[in-house]
A = this chain, B = another copy of it.
Amino acid sequence: MAVYTQIGAEAMAALIAEFDVGQLVSAKGIAEGVSNSNWLLETTGDGAGGTRFILTMYEFRIELDDLPYFLSLLDHLAAKGCPVPRTIHDRDGALYRMRPNPDGELKALALIEFLPGVSVSDPTPAQARAVGAALAGMHTAASDFAGTRDNAMGLAEWQRLFDACGADGLAQIDPHLASLVTEHLPQVAAAWPTDLPTSVIHADLFPDNVLMLGDRVTGLIDFYFACNDLTAYDVAVTHAAWCFDDSGRNFRPDLSSALLEGYESLRPLSPQERAALPLLAQGAALRFTATRAYDWLNTPADALVTRKDPMAFARRLQFYADNQDIFA
C-alpha cells in the first residue's frame, strides 16, 4: 500500500511512449500492492487498448524470472474471456520493460489493462456464487497454459515461517497459537494429498483481489502468488477468504454454499477433491496464519503498513478442524 518510487511527468511520458497507448493525460500513484508501486494512468488512447491502464514497478520480492509467468498468464486468461486485465505489450512486443528508477536501479515495469469494479467487504451469497464461478472459469481456462511455477507459499514455507516465529514469538501473539500450530500442522502435512488434479491457481483470491459491479465479477487481479498446485486447494483458499467475517469468528454457511455452488456450476469437484476440502481448508488457514504471524512479528508497530491479525486465520483453522462436515 504505497508508492515507493516517484516518477515525474516527463519520465512517465517517455515510458508511455514505449507502448502504443497514446499520450499521457493523468497519472495517480495508487495505494495497492505491498511489494510494488502502482499508478493508474489515463492516456489519449490513440493506440490500442483503451485509455486507462495500471502501471506497475516491481520493487521487491517478485523474482524477475517469474514475471513472464504472471504476465503471460493474464494474457492467456483474458484471451479466453476471463475477467482479468490484459498485459499491454510494448512496441517491441515485450511483456515488460527494464528501466532505471530515479536512483539508477534497474526495475521491471509492466502495463496492464485497467478494469472497472470495486472490492466488496461484506459479500452477499450472490456475490460469493459469482466469485466461485469466476474461480472455476479461471481454472478451466488455464488448463492449457504452458507456463509452470512452483508454489513458493506451500507447506514447506508455512513450516519455515512458523519456525522463524518460534514458540516465544507465537506466544507473543496469542498464548494458544503455538499449541494450535503444533497440533494441526504435522497432521495436515502428513495427510496432504498428492493425487488430486493440479492446475494454475490464484492462491490469494481474497475480496481485495476481486473487482465487482453489483453481483458481477469484473476483475480477478493480483496474480503474484499464482502457481501450479492442487486445484481444490485454490477453492479452499477462496473459501477461507470469503466465508468468514474478518475476525474469523463467524462462519457464514450461506456464503460457503453459494461459493461452492458457483464453483461447481462450471467445474464440478471430484469426490476425492470434495473429500479433501476439510484438510485443504486447514492448510489454507495455516498458510495465512503463518504469513500473518511472521509479518506481525517482523513489522514495526509504527509502520504505515497495517498488520493483519494472525488469529483471524488461527480461528478459521480451529473452525475447519472442528467442522469437517461443512464440505460434505
Residues of A at the B interface (CB closer than 8 Å) are 1-3, 6, 8-13, 24-32, 40, 42, 116-122, 211-213, 300, 302-305
Contact = CB atoms under 8 A, between A and B. Distances in A.
A116 B2 CA distance: 22
17 contacts: A1-B3, A2-B31, A6-B121, A9-B118, A9-B119, A9-B121, A9-B212, A10-B122, A12-B118, A13-B118, A24-B118, A25-B213, A26-B118, A30-B31, A300-B302, A304-B304, A304-B305
A2 B1 CA distance: 7
A1 B10 CA distance: 21
A30 B40 contact: yes
A11 B305 contact: no
A79 to B, nearest CB: 23
Contacts of A305: 304
A211 B27 CA distance: 10
A119 B25 CA distance: 11
Contacts of A211: 26
A31 B32 CA distance: 9
Contacts of A6: 121
Contacts of A40: 28, 30, 40
Given A11-B121, A122-B8, A122-B10, A116 B25 contact: yes
A8 B120 contact: yes
A302 B119 CA distance: 30
A133 B122 CA distance: 49
A34 to B, nearest CB: 11
Contacts of A28: 28, 30-32, 40
Nearest to A25: B116
Contacts of A304: 2, 303-305
A212 B13 CA distance: 12
Given A1-B3, A28-B32, A30-B29, A9 B120 contact: yes
A30 to B, nearest CB: 5
A40 B118 CA distance: 12
